[in-house]
Amino acid sequence: MRTLPLRLAVPVLGACSLVLTPAVARVAPTNTIEGIWVIGETPPFPGLRMARIERRGDTLSGTITTDWYGDMPMQNLRMDGAVASFEIDNGNPRLGAKTWTATLSGGTLRIAGDVWHQHVDVAAVPGTEAQARARAFPTYPLPALRALPDNGLARTPPMGWSSWNKFAAEIDDKTVRQIADAMVASGLRDAGYVHINIDDGWQGKRDAQGVLQPNAKFPDMKALADYVHARGMKLGIYSSPGPKTCAGYEGSYGHVEQDARTFAAWGIDYLKYDLCSGEGIYRTPEAVKAAYQQMGAALQASGRPIVYSLCQYGRNDVGAWGRAVGGNLWRTTRDIEDTYESMAKIGFDTNGSPEHVGVGGWNDPDMLEIGNGGMTPDEYRSHMALWAIQAAPLILGHDVRAMDAETRAILTNAAVIAVDQDALGAPGVRIGGEGALSIWRKPLADGSYALAVFNRSAAPLASTLSFAALGLTAPEMVTELWAGRQVAVADGALPLALPPHGTMLFRVR
């Protein structure tokens, strides 16, 4: 997840938050912190509704109810005079718990602390049970864990485009159509990139029956799907198992089966399901799995083949259970950024474990940044090669309407794509390399294999690769896939000339 304060600057977010009546009917002032406290004005994130503090014997306990995370327990609640202190954690393992205070003064409780990257400081007044009921956060049962059948999709890693890396939530129907047209005109569709995925920012409100509607930027989702299908491509969409998506839009919480049916009725072919606010709701690994399984089963019951992309940032060894919940790909990492450092960290160091990768289920080290301008062409070739050697999904993230020739050449190199899309579905594994060199091998269906040699340093690197030292039989010739030429292997050694942060990618028969 990217940081929220950035997103909170997006004006549309305010429209997505629960609107509470600012004028709260007051009950008699109190001189104790115990009781129900209703919060009148709240920032949209995390949408504070009320606090409830109770004493049982000597023990104080409490919760803060929020739009994003439901009931957040006040951990380790203690009193010091008129000030109560406690810890709040939103379920994000990286951030941990933050200290909050609740200070009683003149009958008002001032509640302040940090959640996610946001400081919150709100006033609450005493409330009634009826007010508490109106502000209660609904909870729903989760299904028992079971293994869902294979949906038969994504036999090779999904290829396509997503709106997020370039457009974030500033995406609309017109841009998606233009991108779809550009995918055809540029040859990207014919190179295999067939999924056109709308990421966060398309959602509007639910209607009276609870059916999720797109916002005004997407006037007719079915018509958009028809448009994309007519061009030989598929339309993808995005939601969350939590009440709010990462950019603050409506999630599928409490509407999982209904949303799956809506997506199917629109003609959606791919769903990215992003944990977001769900991290504060599903606080155990089992609950997260069950929440993902619930949508997996709902998609399978929808009657439409829908590729299922899990996005919970690789927590809890997701590869070990991603298939069982119906997933075809699972994010293994934090969000990519358009820098060499971010790409390299994700691609080399944090892309899960290869053991669960195979036909129908793929590690997803996040979408491509190629063409967005933050890396050199050599670095972008490394990005592409690193994803291809690991059989990662190839989901483009740039503005296809304004693509330069070099970007197009990187993305449409058929020999490189063939490594990624190989029918065997084997993952690439790092087999050697010292210092700045990193050497990866991926077995291919025809008995050949791909060998990627990366230079992780910012200086050029000249070296030789010894097949014997890697435990491999030396061939006489290999094909270097970027240059598209044969290279002779002399005395079992391959000459290497690698630009800064560059890559050579070989097919060895």
Q: Which residues are catalytic, by number?
A: 274, 335
Binding range to ligand GLA, per CB under 6 A, among 62-70, 240-248, 352-360, 438-446: 240-248
Nearest to 18 by CA among 35, 1, 36, 40: 40
3 state SS of 216: coil
Cα separation, 244 vs 239, in Å, equals 9
Across-strand partners of 497?
462
Which of 390, 463 has the CB closer to ligand GLA?
390
Q: Does 311 bind ligand GLA (CB under 6 A)?
A: yes
Contact (Cβ atoms closer than 8 angstroms) between residue 352 and residue 390: no
| Cβ distance to ligand GLA smaller for residue 274 or 338 | 274
- In this structure, the strands spanning 234-239 and 329-331 are unpaired
Dihedral sign of CA atoms 169, 175, 179, 182 in order: negative
CB of 312 to ligand GLA, least distance (A): 9
User: With contact defined as beta carbons under 8 Å apart, do 37 and 109 qualify?
Assistant: yes
Q: Of 246 and 411, which CB lies nearer to ligand GLA in the complex structure?
A: 246
Region binding ligand GLA by CB under 6 A among candidate stretches 16-24, 51-59, 132-140, 239-247: 239-247
> What gap in Å lies between CA 169 and CA 175, rounded to an integer?
12
**Helix pair 221-230, 173-185: axis angle to 10 deg:** 0
- Residue whose CB is less far from ligand GLA, 115 or 453: 115
Cα–Cα distance, 448 to 474 (Å, whole number): 12
Phi (first) and psi of residue 417, to 5 degrees:
-60, -40
Regarding 179 and contact with ligand GLA (CB under 6 A), the answer is: no
Q: How far is the CB of 501 from ligand GLA (least distance, A)?
A: 24
* Least distance (Å) between residue 16 CB and ligand GLA: 12
Number of neighbouring beta carbons within 10 Å of residue 272: 25
Task: Please name the residue ranges forming H helices in 315-376.
Answer: 340-344
With binding defined as CB under 6 A, does residue 335 bind ligand GLA? yes
CA–CA distance from 337 to each of 95, 165, 427, 429 (Å)? 20, 8, 23, 23
Write down the H helix ranges in 71-147: 129-135
Q: For residues 2 and 345, which CB has a smaller minimum distance to ligand GLA in the complex?
A: 2
Shortest Cβ 218–ligand GLA spacing (Å): 16
Q: How far is the CB of 295 from ligand GLA (least distance, A)?
A: 15
- The answer to whether 199 contacts ligand GLA (rule: CB under 6 A) is yes
Site for ligand GLA contains 375 (CB under 6 A): no
Among 38, 77, 247, 391, the residue binding ligand GLA under the rule CB under 6 A is 247
Helix or strand holding residue 225 (H, E):
helix 221-230
Measured from the CB atom, is 91 or 502 closer to ligand GLA?
A: 91
Among 67, 89, 200, 259, binds ligand GLA (CB under 6 A): 200
**Which residue's CB is nearer to ligand GLA, number 1 or number 411?**
1
Rule CB under 6 A: choose which of 45, 69, 100, 164 binds ligand GLA: 164
* 302's tokens: 């929808």
Q: Which residues contact 418 (CB under 8 A, 6 or more apart)?
A: none
How far apart are alpha carbons 458 and 341 in whole angstroms? 11
Q: Identify which range of 245-253, 317-325, 418-426, 491-499 contacts ligand GLA by CB under 6 A.
A: 245-253
Least gap, CB of 12 to ligand GLA (angstroms): 12
Q: Supply the minimum distance, in Å, between the C-beta of residue 1 and ligand GLA.
A: 4
Place of tokens 């090779």: 156
Q: Which of 2, 98, 177, 283 binds ligand GLA (CB under 6 A)?
A: 2
**Residue 345 binds ligand GLA, judged by CB under 6 A:** no
Smaller CB separation from ligand GLA, 233 or 395:
395
CB of 146 to ligand GLA, least distance (A): 27
Phi-psi map region of 314: left, alpha, beta (phi>0 left; psi -120 to 50 alpha) = left
Using CB atoms within 10 Å of the CB of residue 139, give its burial: 0 to 12 exposed, 13 to 18 middle, 19+ buried.
exposed
CB of 371 to ligand GLA, least distance (A): 17
- Residues in the interface with ligand GLA (CB under 6 A) total 11
* Number of Cβ within a 10 Å radius of residue 74: 23
Minimum CB–partner distance for residue 311 and ligand GLA (Å): 5
Looking at residues 386 to 405 of the shown chain, list those that interact with ligand GLA (rule: CB under 6 A): none
Q: Which of 274, 338, 364, 379 binds ligand GLA (CB under 6 A)?
A: 274
Task: Answer yes or no whether residue 161 interacts with ligand GLA by CB under 6 A.
Answer: no
Nearer to ligand GLA, 5 or 303 (CB): 5
Strand partners, 375: none
Q: Does 124 bind ligand GLA (CB under 6 A)?
A: no
Q: Judge residue 165's burial from the number of C-beta atoms within 10 Å of its C-beta, 0-12 exposed, 13-18 middle, 19 or more buried.
A: buried
Cβ proximity to ligand GLA: between 116 and 440 the closer is: 116
Determine if 1 is a binding residue for ligand GLA (CB under 6 A).
Answer: yes
- C-beta atoms surrounding 29 within 10 Å: 11
Which amino acid does the sequence have at 6? Answer: L
Stretches 218-226, 241-249, 433-441, 484-492: which one binds ligand GLA (CB under 6 A)?
241-249
What is the C-alpha separation between 242 and 69, in angstroms, rounded? 8
Binding residue for ligand GLA, selected from 188, 235, 246, 256, defined by CB under 6 A = 246
Which residues of the shown chain bind ligand GLA in the complex (CB under 6 A)? 1-2, 164, 199-200, 245-247, 274, 311, 335
